[in-house]
Structure 1
């Protein structure tokens, strides 16, 4: 555990927030999850319990460790319950206006010395920090999905982030047995700057009729040794998230090579967002996923 951080606040009981809560509690931290509805919190806690139970079944954790981890996690729909946190990690939707609104509500209840971090996968850390009352104590701690499985965390400093904040964040991530990579504050950082244009290009390859969904994913799995095809991966990430990251790249770097594929836009407009909505480049409503093109 970190020497300076003991209580971790998490904003958002979605997939990312619950994953961060899971690994933080497993490492010995007290964790409090805040979300707007108690239903979302209950659902998130059930997901964490299920994931921990799977680790017990696989022999990677004892049942005592599972119970101890769960006992360190609490949740509520009252923002004031984040007050004891030494570090608050915002894991809300990838929408800058939503994040800014959250900071305006959360900063007044936080301890003056507490650190605030965002799990954004693409937005400017410097710009988000400017919407808080603690730009020196604000930075990006970008976990990969699914958090309990993925070993990498990108640390991103804003222009105002001080060295003590960075050191504390690095120590915290190390205590979770994750590997740190340091990225500069440019749109989409390192992983998504490389990964999302590849996914976008795979969608263009489909859009232009070069190959079918199945052909493209098989080609990249067997021809490039990727564990998952790019279209399958896009569905896993969420096509709305893929589109928002491509828009951040296109707007932030003003280069036509980052133009989102029109087919990606069409799927998002249709509400076909991938696995979470039941349809994307694959249809997940039956026993086995079936390509939609």
Structure 2
């Protein structure tokens, strides 16, 4: 195995960690929403520790304090993606979709519609496994790299942003992905739509979660696949005008953190 990418990634992370934090940047990144016990979710301290150690590679939120917010959606494309695209178009808002490679294979036209509408397409693995414990080959060739090839074939783009399923990822895996020029995007607000999806009043619960925790340069985690996401679609329709009234602008994650959305298609 060629260990050069891992070594380069480790060196990069060490350099990022050693660099002083500019005065106009947030000194720390935090998750603003709570933790639900018993659902095998990544501990919040782990997210925050990794964000501190891999600053510039691993993001929970934007690093500044502008009144911008990034809506992100995981696990699509699906029929709910189509519904979300209509809501986003209605409000003239762009979002970031962390698609699964397997779902893009199944619904390429929906993925193309999201791309054509000006939304950012990002990588959420091939089929949503827990990553910890995977070998480097399984991580890249079987998951993220496999999805990159699908995105390139079906959409003509190679994402430069990815999100690890469930938020779990080892430090050595972060280094490997950083060496492949990937930015890891987690979240500062988890709407927990995966938890409340089957409850009555789900849309109101999601709306309240965001409105009670919104902050400058938030990255908001929602889902457009993997279950019943009708409440998510309804909540987004409610949230956008409410947050605009508070002076928030909606941007894609790449714009929020100031990085390219895609790599050259020769990658």
- Higher alpha-carbon Rg: 1
In the superposition, the TM-score normalised over structure 1's length comes to 0.26
TM-score after normalising by structure 2: 0.28
Larger relative contact order (Cα-Cα within 8 Å, sequence gap ≥ 6)? 2
